[in-house]
Chains A and B, each alone.
Chain A
């Protein structure tokens, strides 16, 4: 059984650029949640996907978007990057009533 994997692990972008982060969920999990974790802060809920549909969204602007694929893997896309988007982006997979299993995260730096 493989755990949650994310790619890339680190990346650097400049303001205004676009970024795509990827997540493979744990085998058997049908729900993927994305979180933004700024340095020294708790994970902030971005959105969640269940069976390829967005199933909940936090207080993030529309330039944060996502997808979930039939194999339950997922992408997070961020357009028009801003300096404040610099953070660790965590993906977590789960079953409906189970715990969240996190990946190691993608650390994004926006210059």
Chain B
């Protein structure tokens, strides 16, 4: 069945450093790749997404890259701040929220001040 693998499970960085989280997916028909941030005790919220017709997307300090051939996609956070500390989930689906969306197991990011 469909599967999304995410690593690392835990990531600790110094404030101002960059953080990279990597995911792989198994379903070749996946074409929509969102990233969600979940703060402690709160709901997951979308921070950025990418569709398969582009290889990279950037929004201020956050960027995502996609390699469809290798079925890899990554989240890059630059100039990390303490408020970036949270759990980040990658996900994959065949179109968007109206299609089954499979999530990775999550990466707990700690940003040390």
Residues of chain A at the chain B interface (Cβ within 8 Å): 31, 33, 35, 40-45, 48, 50, 55-56, 58-59, 90, 92-105
Chain A residues whose C-beta falls within 8 Å of the C-beta of B36 in the assembled complex: 100
A56 pairs with B34, CB closer than 8 A: no
B98 pairs with A43, CB closer than 8 A: no
B89 CB to closest chain A CB (Å) equals 5
Residues of chain B at the chain A interface (Cβ within 8 Å): 1, 6, 32, 34, 36, 42-46, 49, 89, 95-106
- In the complex formed, the residue of A with least CB distance to B90 is A42
B11 CB to closest chain A CB (Å) equals 15
Q: Complex formed: what's the CA distance from A98 to B101 in Å?
A: 11
**Which 7 residue pairs are nearest across A and B when measured between Cβ atoms?**
A94-B97, A96-B98, A97-B96, A42-B103, A102-B43, A56-B100, A100-B97
A33 pairs with B1, CB closer than 8 A: no
A90 pairs with B43, CB closer than 8 A: yes
- In the complex formed, the residue of B with least CB distance to A92 is B97
- In the complex formed, the residue of A with least CB distance to B100 is A56
